[in-house]
Amino acid sequence: MSIPDAVASALRHQAIELPSWAFGNSGTRFKVFGQPGVPRTPEEKLADAAQVHRYTGIAPSVALHIPWDEVGDYGVLAARAEELGIRIGTINANVFQDDDYRLGSVTNPEPRVRRKALDHLLHCVDVMDATGSRDLKLWFADGTNYPGQDDIAARQDRLAEALEAVRARLSGNQRMLLEYKLFEPAFYTTDVPDWGTAYAHCRTLGARAQVVVDTGHHAPGTNIEFIVAFLLREGKLGGFDFNSRFYADDDLMVGAADPFQLFRIMREVVRGGGLDRGAGIAFMLDQCHNIEPKIPGQIRSVLNVQEATAKALLVDTGALSAAQRSGDVLGANAVLMDAYNTDVRPLLADLRTGLGLDPDPMRAFERSGYLERISADRVGGQPAGWGA
């Protein structure tokens, strides 16, 4: 089976962003597990990310997390990324790891704390200016743990005020992506708990504000592909944080828990034009590789998204539409299942060969000896990890 030209073209132009923090040490809330060769600086994170792009060909950018990836000169950091054949992507703000944010950041009842949080968000826009980044990703741990702790509606007002201040600071092609999370660490109310809350704020803010869907941030049984289809239809889907979950926000490798769900999501992305050039959707991994090696874990995750995308592109849309119009329930489902059950690995191997890449990225990286080299070279210093 040869890969159709349209499918090959879409796959050649696919891009999946890597998270800098996934290359550092991580673990559970009980233990962080260290690994040899873990990067100690943002520059070393970029070097590791460049390896993923080298072997997959579709991971050309790296998201930064501020202040975890704080440097003195972001222009120099961006130039280093370019030397490595990649670029700086999304800038992620951090307003959840400071003692002042115990009762919230931009929704905190104390004006001084809200100002501090907003100043950090505006600093992140400065980082965007220096690196040429398009997207600012905002996730807030803000919320309450007890009934009566704070005024729920007033917190929404404070959130809206902060988001508007950030929107006013953006320029050029810059935009902000608002993330949501069902719960944790706020267990009574979360200020941005779902896609509807994020969508409502983004709709008010206008074209520079988009919703980002984290595939691990939903209640069990939530139909994520419906959310994707709705936001695409509204022109408000800004991006993804791809990961897998079995219970809550597990941040496991994308496609590990439910590869069929990933296929269904990518089918709606294809259906809604989300892969079209100029669509502007940021596809990014957001994972913590706790027990698996960091770089191979990122390579495998990128390949999982690529395989799901290839299957979604192979759906026979003509046959599907005909079955849907005629009310052929089983026939329509069979069209989707035929695409999902297609083994696309040989097609993708041929595609990589045509691009001058090794057809098996995992084996190619393993043979490179890079992991052994960094394990020997990166001795001493402070390995990157959660909060660094």
- What would the pLDDT profile of 330-374 be if each residue is shown by its tens digit? 999 999 999 999 999 999 999 999 999 999 999 999 999 999 999
- The C-alpha R_g of the chain, in whole angstroms, comes to 21
Question: Higher confidence at residue 306 or residue 385?
Answer: 306
Q: What mean pLDDT do residues 63-88 have?
A: 98
Contacts of 253 (CB under 8 A, 6+ apart): 243, 244, 287, 289, 292, 297, 300, 301, 304
Supply 186's token pair.
């706020």
The answer to whether 92 and 131 are in contact (CB under 8 A) is no
Element (H, E) at 70: none
In contact, 93 and 125? CB cutoff 8 Å: no
Q: What's residue 123's pLDDT?
A: 98
Q: Which residue in the block uniquely carries the two structure tokens 């210093």?
A: 381
1 falls in which pLDDT band (50, 70, 90)?
low
As a dihedral over the C-alpha atoms of residue 77, residue 83, residue 86, residue 91, rounded to 10 degrees, the angle is 10
- Report pLDDT digits (tens) over 237-284: 999 999 999 998 889 999 999 999 999 999 999 999 999 988 999 999
What residue ranges define each of the domains in the chain, with the CATH number in brackets? 14-313+359-377 (3.20.20.150)
The answer to whether 209 and 237 are in contact (CB under 8 A) is no
Contact 236, 272 (CB under 8 A): no
pLDDT tens digit sequence for 42-68: 999 999 999 999 999 999 999 999 999
- In DSSP terms, which residues pair with 63 in a beta bridge? 19
Range 138-160 average pLDDT: 98
Q: Is the pLDDT of residue 5 over 90?
A: no
Q: Are 69 and 20 in contact (CB under 8 A)?
A: yes
Is this model's pTM higher than 0.75 or not? Answer: yes
How far apart are alpha carbons 231 and 284 in whole angstroms? 17
Instruction: Tell me the pLDDT of the chain averaged across its residues.
Output: 96
Per-residue model confidence (pLDDT) at position 31:
85
Kindly indicate the confidence band of residue 28, based on its pLDDT and cuts at 50, 70 and 90. confident
Question: Taken in order 109, 111, 113, 114, is the CA torsion positive or negative?
Answer: positive
260-290: string of b/e by CB count within 10 Å (b at 16+)? ebbbbbbbbbbbbebbeeeebbbbbbbbbbb
Residue 388 reports pLDDT greater than 70: no
pLDDT digits (tens, 9 = 90+) for 182-209: 999 999 999 999 999 999 999 999 999 9
Instruction: Quote the pLDDT of residue 67.
Output: 96
